[in-house]
Structure 1
Amino acid sequence: MPVSTPRRPAEAPASPTTWPPAPDTGRRPRRTLPAFLRLGPGDREVLWLYVLTRVGIWATAGAVGWLFPRDGESRRPASPLSSWQQWDWWHYLHIAEEGYFPTQAGPWTAGWDNREAFLPGFPLALRAVHTVVPDWAAAGALISFVSGGVAVLALARIARHHLADLETGRRAVAFLLLSPCAVFLAAGYTEALFLALALPAWLAAQRQNWPTAAILACLACSVRITGLFLAAALALHFVLTARGLRAWRAAPWLLLPALAPALYSWFLQTRTGDWMAWKHSQERGWYRDFHAPWEAWANTWEAAFGHTQATGYAFMWQAELLAMVIGLVLLVLLVRARRWPEALYIGLTLWALGTSYWYTSVPRSTLLWWPLWIGLASWSMRRPRIQSAYLYVAGPLSAVVAITFLSGRWAG
C-alpha cells in the first residue's frame, strides 16, 4: 500500500523551514548587547567603587549642611541639594533658565555676568533633564552622577587597553575619584559630562573607530573648550596610526569637532556682533587675557605668597601653582615616553591655563588629565607604596576641598 504524505495542520505556518516544526520550548533567542554595554568583572568593580565614593561625597555634603549653615542660628538644616549650588553653578542655571541674552541684556548692560563665557553643552543638558526632573539642582546632580559612571568605566577600559591589567584600571579610577578636586565630579559642573564624552572618544580612537570618536569629541567641544585640545590629540593619533588608503578615508571625520565651537561663535556673533565674544567675556570676567607664561607664574606666586589676598584665596592660589608643576612634570614624562597625542593634549591645556593674568582652575582641570591617573596607576603597580602614599595624602585633601566648596568658599 502506498504511503501518502501527511497533510500539514491548518494552524501550521505557511512556509516553515522544516517539517515537522520544532517544538516550542518557551525560550527566546538571546540578544547580545553592544560591546560598550557589556560589563565584565572589572567594570562592575569600578562601578561599585564609584557608588561607594558617591555615598561618601553626598554624606559629606549632608554633614556640611548641618555643621556650616548659612545662618549660624538656624535650627533646621538646609536642603541636601543647597550645598551643591555654588559659584559656576549659577551661571549654568541662569543660561538653562533664561538663555544667554534675556530681555536684550548682554555685555553692553551694566553688571553683566559674562555668561557667554560658558559653552552651551551643559546648560542644554540641564534644560533637557529638567523637563523630567523638576528641581534644577537635582537635575544637575543627576547629569553628573550618570556622566561620572560613564567616565570611570571608560577610564578603566583605556587603562586596560594600554596595560592589559584589570587592577591598573581599578587603581586609575580610585586615584581619580579620591583626587583633591574630586568633589567637582559630583557637582553640577562640566567636568563629569566632559569626561563622559572625551574618554569614550579616546577609547574609540584607540580602537580605530574614527566616526564615533569624532562625534563624541564634537559633543565634548560643546561642553568645554578643552574639547578642541582633545580634537587636536585625536588628529595627531590618527596621523601616527593610520595605515593605508582605506584608513585615510576616515580623515574628514576629524574636522567634525570644530563644528560645535564654530556654531557657538556664529550664535554669539548674531547676538553681539563679535565673533570673539567668548574670549572677550573670559577676559572681562576672569582676567584671561594673554600674558607670557612667566608673567602668569609671577602673578600667581604674588597672590599665593605675597599676603595680598585673604588666606582662603591665597591657599587656593598655592594649589594652582602646585597643579601647574604637576602638569609640567606629566608633560615631560609623556614626551619622554613618546606618547605624542597625550602630550599634545596636556601641552595645549597647560598653555591655555598658563598664559592668563594668573592661574585659574588648574587643580580642577587635573580631573581631565586621564594620562595622569593611568600613569599613577601604572607607577603604583611597580611600587606598591605609591598607592598608600597617594591615598593617605590625597584623601584628606579631597575632604578639605569638598568642605571648602560645599560651604560656599572658593575652591578653584
Structure 2
Amino acid sequence: MTLLDRDIPGIRTIAPSVRRSRLRLDAGDRDVLTLYLFTRVAVLLTAYCTAWLFPRDPEAHRPEPFTAVVGQWDWNHYLHIARDGYFPDDPAARPEEWDNREAFFPGFPLLLRALHLVVRDWAAAGLLVSLVAGAVAVLALGRIARLQLPRAADSRRAVLLLLVSPCAVFLAVGYTESLFLAFALPAWLAARRHDWRLAALLAAGATTVRVSGLFLVAALVVHFALTARRRGELRSLPWLALPALPPLLYSWYLYGHTGDPMAWKHAQERGWYREFHTPWEAWGTTWEAAFGHGYTTPYALMWQAELVAMAVGLVTVALLARARRWPEAVYVALSLWALGTSYWYMSVPRATLLWWPLWVGLAAWTSRGPRRSAAWLCLSVPLSVVLAVTFFSGRWAG
C-alpha cells in the first residue's frame, strides 16, 4: 500500500466526533501557528527596515507610508478591480492605458471588496485576507505533511520550509497565493479523506481565485480515479464538475462585456506575453534574457531565478512520478506547462509556493540529517530576505 492509498482512521464513517476533531487545534497545529506568527513579524520587520533604508527618493527624510511599501505591483490590479470593477462606468476610474485587469480572477477582489465594508483601508484589508488565509493554509499543509511524514517535527519542517522559501513574501502581502492555498490545501485534505463534496466545494473556491485551481481539479480527478472506484464512490464523481463553474461564470461575465469569453487569457497575452510558444522556445528566450546582457542586472537576476524555479519544478515532477504520486505530479506538471509555454518564463518562482508536494518532499529530504537542513536554510533564508527587500523597495520581484 502506498502513501496515496493510506486511509485515516475513521474516514469511512466520518462520525460527527471525527468531523469536530478536524476543527480542533492540537499541539502540532498550535506549533505551526506559532511559527507562522513569528514569520509574519519577521516579514513586517523587513518591510519596516526596507522603508527606512531603501526609499525611492535617496534624499528622503521620512519613509513612505507603510501601505505604499506593502502595496506593490499586482496589488494595484486587485485594488482597482475591488474598488472600481473590471469595467468601470466612471471615466475617472478608467486608466489612460488599459491595464489588462481581466487577466486576474475575481475571487480575491470580491473578498477584498466585502472586507472593505468593515476594514476601510484597502491595504490593511488585503493584508488581513492574506494573514487569515495564510494561517488556514499552513495548518492544512502541516496536516498534509503528517499523512506522509513519520514524525510530527517533520510536518512542522514542511511549514517552515514554505514560510522561509525565497518567494515567501507573497504569502504576506495582498496577493492571491495565501487565499488560493487556503482553499486548495484543505481541498486536498478532504480528497484524501474521500470527502468529495467538501473537496469540490473548496476547489471551487480555488478556481475563483486563480486559473491554477483547474490544475488542482485535475489532480483531484486523478486521485478519484485511483482510489474511489474500489470504494463504491462513483456516485460522487459529478461533484468534481463543480469547480469548473466559477471560471465558466467569469467567462460568461467577460463575454457580456467584451464579446470574448476568453478575455482573461487574451489580457494575459497582451500584458504579460503569455501567448503560446514551445517549451524550448520559452527556455531559450528566458535564458537570453538572463544571460544575454540585454537587460539591467536586477531584471537579469530575476530571469535567472525563473530558470532555477523551472528546473526545480521539473525535478519535482520527475520525483513524484518515480514515487507514483500521480495526482501531485499532474498538478505540478500542469502548472509547469502553463508557465513554461509562454514567450518567456514569468512568475515561476512565485508558483513554487503553490506546489505543496515540493515542501513536503523537501521536509522529508532535509529530515535525513542536520547538515541537509542547515544547508537548505542557509540557501533559502537569505534569498527570502533579498526578495522581500526587492519587493518592498518597489523593484521587480517576480
TM-score by length of 1: 0.90
- The 5 A counterparts of 1:233-272 are 233-244=219-230, 246-272=232-258
| CA distance in 1 between partners of 2:348 and 2:160 (Å) | 20
- The 5 A counterparts of 1:275-294 are 275-294=261-280
Cα distance change, pair 245–332 in 1 and its aligned pair in 2 (3 A): closer
The answer to whether structure 1 residue 76 and structure 2 residue 62 are counterparts is yes
The answer to whether structure 1 residue 153 and structure 2 residue 139 are counterparts is yes
The answer to whether structure 1 residue 406 and structure 2 residue 387 are counterparts is no
The answer to whether structure 1 residue 338 and structure 2 residue 317 are counterparts is no
For 1:92, the equivalent position in structure 2 comes to 78
- Please tell me the residue identity of whatever aligns with 1:411: A
Question: Over alpha carbons, which structure has the higher Rg?
Answer: 1
Runs of 4+ in structure 1 deviating by more than 3 angstroms, as ranges, are 243-246
- Secondary structure of 1:102's counterpart equals coil
For 1:174, the equivalent position in structure 2 comes to 160
The farther-off stretch of 96-105 and 223-232 is 96-105
- The 5 A counterparts of 1:204-223 are 204-223=190-209
Structure 1 residue 32, shift from structure 2 partner? 9.9
| CA distance in 1 between partners of 2:18 and 2:380 (Å) | 41
2:217 pairs with 216, 221, 231, which one?
231
- The 5 A counterparts of 1:21-40 are 34-40=20-26
Cα distance change, pair 208–275 in 1 and its aligned pair in 2 (3 A): same
Structure 1 residue 109, shift from structure 2 partner? 8.8
The answer to whether structure 1 residue 300 and structure 2 residue 277 are counterparts is no
Cα distance change, pair 47–109 in 1 and its aligned pair in 2 (3 A): closer
For 1:378, the equivalent position in structure 2 comes to 364
Query: Going by fraction, where is helix more abundant, 1 or 2?
Result: 2
Structure 1 residue 115, shift from structure 2 partner? 0.3
- Secondary structure of 1:81's counterpart equals helix
For 2:375, the equivalent position in structure 1 comes to 389
Structure 1 residue 67, shift from structure 2 partner? 1.1
Structure 1 residue 128, shift from structure 2 partner? 0.9
The answer to whether structure 1 residue 51 and structure 2 residue 56 are counterparts is no
For 2:3, the equivalent position in structure 1 comes to none
- Secondary structure of 1:103's counterpart equals coil
For 1:127, the equivalent position in structure 2 comes to 113
Structure 1 residue 276, shift from structure 2 partner? 1.3
Structure 1 stretches of 5 or more lacking a match? 1-30
Cα distance change, pair 321–160 in 1 and its aligned pair in 2 (3 A): same
The farther-off stretch of 252-261 and 80-89 is 80-89
- Please tell me the residue identity of whatever aligns with 1:219: G
Q: What is the CA deviation profile of residues 316-346 of structure 1, one whole-angstrom value per residue up to 9, with x for unaligned ones?
A: 0000000000000000000000000000001
Structure 1 residue 110, shift from structure 2 partner? 6.4
Cα distance change, pair 272–374 in 1 and its aligned pair in 2 (3 A): same
2:104 pairs with 118, 122, 139, which one?
118
- Please tell me the residue identity of whatever aligns with 1:248: L
| CA distance in 2 between partners of 1:82 and 1:34 (Å) | 41
| CA distance in 2 between partners of 1:215 and 1:49 (Å) | 29
Structure 1 residue 74, shift from structure 2 partner? 2.4
For 2:347, the equivalent position in structure 1 comes to 361
- Please tell me the residue identity of whatever aligns with 1:130: H
TM-score by length of 2: 0.93
| CA distance in 2 between partners of 1:246 and 1:369 (Å) | 30
- Secondary structure of 2:166's counterpart equals coil
- Please tell me the residue identity of whatever aligns with 2:79: L
Structure 1 residue 164, shift from structure 2 partner? 4.2
- Please tell me the residue identity of whatever aligns with 1:161: L
Cα distance change, pair 109–382 in 1 and its aligned pair in 2 (3 A): closer
For 2:14, the equivalent position in structure 1 comes to none
Q: What is the CA deviation profile of residues 122-167 of structure 1, one whole-angstrom value per residue up to 9, with x for unaligned ones?
A: 0001111111101000000000000111000000000001224211
Cα distance change, pair 32–367 in 1 and its aligned pair in 2 (3 A): closer
For 2:123, the equivalent position in structure 1 comes to 137
For 1:321, the equivalent position in structure 2 comes to 307
| CA distance in 2 between partners of 1:117 and 1:290 (Å) | 16
| CA distance in 1 between partners of 2:372 and 2:256 (Å) | 53
Q: What is the CA deviation profile of residues 183-216 of structure 1, one whole-angstrom value per residue up to 9, with x for unaligned ones?
A: 0000100000000100000011001111010000
Aligned residues: 380
Aligned identity (percent) is 64
- Please tell me the residue identity of whatever aligns with 2:318: V
| CA distance in 1 between partners of 2:80 and 2:334 (Å) | 30
| CA distance in 1 between partners of 2:374 and 2:230 (Å) | 46
- Please tell me the residue identity of whatever aligns with 2:149: L
Cα distance change, pair 201–245 in 1 and its aligned pair in 2 (3 A): closer
- The 5 A counterparts of 1:190-205 are 190-205=176-191
| CA distance in 2 between partners of 1:111 and 1:346 (Å) | 35
